[in-house]
Amino acid sequence: MKSTLIFAALFALGGCMIGPDYKRPTAPIAVSYKELAGWQPAVPQDARDRGAWWLVFHDPLLDQLERQVDVSNYTLQQAEANYRNARAIVQEAQANLFPILSGAGNFQRTGVGGGTSVVSSGVAYSPGFVGNQYTLQGNGSWDLDVWGEIRRQVASDVDLAQYSAAEVANARLSAQAALATAYFNLRGEDSLAAVLTSNVKQFADALRITENEYHAGFVARGDVLTAQTELQTTQAQLIAVGVARAQYEHAIAVLIGKPPAELSIGPSVLPDGAPVMPPSLPSTLLLRRPDIAAAERQMAAENELIGVALAAFFPQISLSAFDGYTGPQLANLISLPNRIWGLGAAFNAPIFEGGAQIAAVVAARANYDAAVANYRQTVISAFQQVEDELVALRVLADEKKVQDIAVKSAQDNVAFALNEYKAGTVIYTTVLTDQELELSDEITDVSIQQSRLVASVALIEALGGGWQSDELPSTATIRSPNFYLPGNVLGTKSAEQ
């Protein structure tokens, strides 16, 4: 009866948890976005597939490339493997909550030489004795988690596994955004090539006209040389476009897990317009950014480790037991006369450690404070990224309208100057100046549109790409003994599975 009461008391103590319970610290959140004026507030559409955010660009090839990121991107596969490792650590840590059971068998043949008797393990053996001893025994031990040290460690490991899952989502979003950015930069080079090709044709026509005027004796040889120089310079610019385009194509190949030699993307110009994903309330950003979710889970993990450090000040209590049989004959080894058993309990209490454990607690609290600061910095940096891309999209849209007008004016000026040159009322330098201005305006126009699309991608990435924090695997999922990756973390099984 007394033993039962002792064990009941120990189990009751098992509910004790030393250390602070986690409460998410506040973060600096603005009431509204500064650059949101004029944008239509977003309405969450939870019923639609938020993951394929790149569909807003209505580009089938981009869609095809983006869907290969989950399957073949090696950075994402590395993050997924890290998550599976984090889950395994949880399984390993929570195993310490249970008793450890083991079985052991032993055989020993003992012989005593002539002379004197020998006493071994309390048994006296006569001279010349030769005998066998068989032992079959089960052992058990249990480190009682009286102060919650193990449970705090398990909770910390669960938080870190969720952190790792958020890192998977962040790696996916980063790879998708990098691919979309490289894709639109590549299309920017295609558009630049189209502009330069058109201008090469125009300059070739101008050279032909100038040569005809020269042969007719209306202009000097210098006009022909100037026209040749302008044509050849533009041709050189057109050739140079191939370097940047090839590099963007190589970057896309790597992002989808292919050697650059295995991917070829045909030319196509930039699309018109640039979709804008207006953000909802700033407070929702905390739920839609995987990097913020990761920083928050890291805070929770560090908070649990404070409890682990504090629990080390208290006695560690363990129970042990064994039960088995030992005897000289194997045939009747398992019998009541041969039975052996034992029960035991032990505790280990720190008395003096030179301040090591106090330092461990100080370090744990410092790590938590650092995690809080990192979380808050991650939050305000996220708001900065959103504000940056909102203002970029607004300013670039206004700039594109004005630049389109400038391009049209430059094209009209070139046509007018060329007609005047043919009529002999202006010198070729006038045509040259207008042509160079037209080319510069057209290149600037392409650059602005390219920047708009890249900024659109960056805004979607800054808003989390449609990801939600409730997509993180739950504590129950992580603590379950299933070591396979849940579909909501990566979406596909690794190659080994």
Q: What are phi and psi of 397, to 5 degrees?
A: -65, -45
pLDDT of the residue at 36: 75
**Residues 178-228: tens digit of each pLDDT:** 999 999 999 999 999 999 999 999 999 999 999 998 998 888 899 999 999
pLDDT of residue 40: 53
DSSP letters, 449-488, are HHHHHHHHHHHHHHTTTT--GGGSPPHHHHHSS--SPPTT
36-51: pLDDT as tens digits? 765 554 444 433 445 7
* Cα pseudo-dihedral 480, 485, 490, 493, rounded to 10: -160
- The fraction of the chain above a pLDDT of 70, given in percent, is 87
Give the model confidence (pLDDT) of 219-272 as tens digits.
889 999 999 999 999 999 999 999 999 999 999 999 999 999 999 999 999 999
Pairing of the two strands 339-348 and 123-125: unpaired
CA distance 328 to 337: 12
pLDDT tens-digit readout, 53-89: 999 999 999 999 999 998 889 999 999 999 999 999 9
The DSSP result for 23-37, as a single string, is -PPP----SS-GGGT
Cβ burial, residue 472 (10 Å; 0-12/13-18/19+): buried
The predicted structure's pLDDT at residue 335: 87
3-state secondary structure 40-59: CCCCCCCCCCCCCHHHHHCC
Q: Given this model, what pLDDT does residue 43 score?
A: 47
Span 308-352, pLDDT tens digits: 999 999 999 999 999 999 988 888 888 888 899 999 999 888 888
Element (H, E) at 123: strand 123-125
The per-residue pLDDT for 183 is 98
Nearest-angstrom CA–CA distance, 63 and 483: 31
Q: Which two tokens stand for residue 138?
A: 């089960």
Q: Are 349 and 314 in contact (CB under 8 A)?
A: yes
Select from 394, 417, 406, 401 the least CA-distant residue to 442: 406
492, pLDDT greater than 60:
no
pLDDT at 489 over 70: no
The closest of 386, 173, 175, 458 to 294, measured between CA atoms, is 173
The string of pLDDT tens digits covering residues 128-142 is 667 788 899 999 999
pLDDT in tens, 420-473: 988 888 888 899 999 999 999 999 999 999 999 999 999 999 999 988 888 899
Residue type for position 276:
V
Q: Do residues 257 and 73 touch, judged by C-beta distance below 8 A?
A: yes
Q: What is the pLDDT of residue 332?
A: 87
CB-based burial of residue 72 (10 Å sphere; 0-12 exposed, 13-18 middle, 19+ buried)?
middle
pLDDT at 122: 59
The CA-atom distances, in angstroms, between 485 and each of 87, 198, 373, 392 are 9, 53, 31, 39
pLDDT of 171 > 50? The answer is yes
| pLDDT bucket at 281, cuts 50 / 70 / 90 | confident
Using N-to-C axis directions, what is the helix angle for 290-311 and 149-215, rounded to 10°? Answer: 150
Query: Could you read off the pLDDT of 136-160 as tens digits, one per residue?
Result: 999 999 999 999 999 999 999 999 9
pLDDT at 47: 38
Over the stretch 98-121, which tens digit does the pLDDT of each residue have?
999 999 999 888 776 666 666 665
Cα gap 286→470, rounded to integer Å: 11
Q: Domains plus CATH for the chain? A: 18-104+156-315+356-479 (1.20.1600.10)
In total, the chain counts a number of residues equal to 497
pLDDT-based confidence at residue 497 (cuts at 50, 70, 90):
very low
* Amino acid (one-letter) located at 451: S
- What is the model's pLDDT at position 5? 42
